[in-house]
Copies of this chain bind each other. A is one copy, B any other.
């Protein structure tokens, strides 16, 4: 089955264009990106800090099935409720550096919505390595969990 989350990676660029339509209202889709409890559910992570406002920041910690611990963090550059979040994201303790993410939220109908994510990397090779690590499948699965978790709040 084709993944619902579409990732467009143009050859030689240092960016990704990601689009996903959800059977969720715009408000629920946005809530799933800012409410710590919901974020924890669909990202499968512990939310140590999630200060979703302009110039806020976040810190997540998780353990993979083998018990390895991973930490993620970033800062929020721009925050417009139900419309846009511009933030950085970094997987700590890896060779990957901070990436810049533009998340744009769009109402399609009363109970459907679209997420457009534009991710800009420090280099083409860092982007390509992310894809090789299974980012396409991982993000699609995470978005499936998002839809399920937020859908319970309908």
Q: Is the interface of A mostly helix, strand, loop or mixed?
A: strand
Is the Cβ of B102 less than 8 Å from the Cβ of A75? Answer: no
Q: Which residues of A in the span 84-112 have a Cβ within 8 Å of any Cβ on B?
A: 86, 88, 90, 97-100, 102
Could you say which of A77, A118, A122 has the most chain B C-beta atoms within 10 Å of its C-beta?
Answer: A77
Residue in contact with A88 in the complex, picked from B15, B77, B122, CB distance below 8 Å: B77
Q: Which residues of A in the span 61-88 have a Cβ within 8 Å of any Cβ on B?
A: 73-78, 86, 88
The answer for the CA separation of A15 and B74 in the assembled complex, in Å, is 21
Q: Which residues of A in the span 21-75 have a Cβ within 8 Å of any Cβ on B?
A: 55, 57, 73-75
The answer for the CA separation of A69 and B121 in the assembled complex, in Å, is 32
Is the Cβ of A77 less than 8 Å from the Cβ of B98? Answer: yes
State how many angstroms separate the Cβ of A133 from the closest Cβ of chain B. 20
Is the C-beta of A19 less than 8 angstroms from some C-beta in chain B? no
Could you say which of A13, A76, A100 has the most chain B C-beta atoms within 10 Å of its C-beta?
Answer: A100
The answer for the CA separation of A97 and B100 in the assembled complex, in Å, is 11
5 contacting pairs across A/B (C-beta < 8 A): A14-B14, A77-B90, A97-B102, A98-B102, A120-B121
Q: What would 18 more interface pairs be, CB under 8 Å, given A14-B120, A88-B88, A100-B120?
A: A14-B15, A55-B57, A74-B77, A75-B75, A75-B88, A77-B90, A77-B98, A78-B90, A78-B98, A86-B88, A88-B100, A97-B102, A98-B100, A98-B102, A100-B100, A102-B122, A120-B120, A120-B121
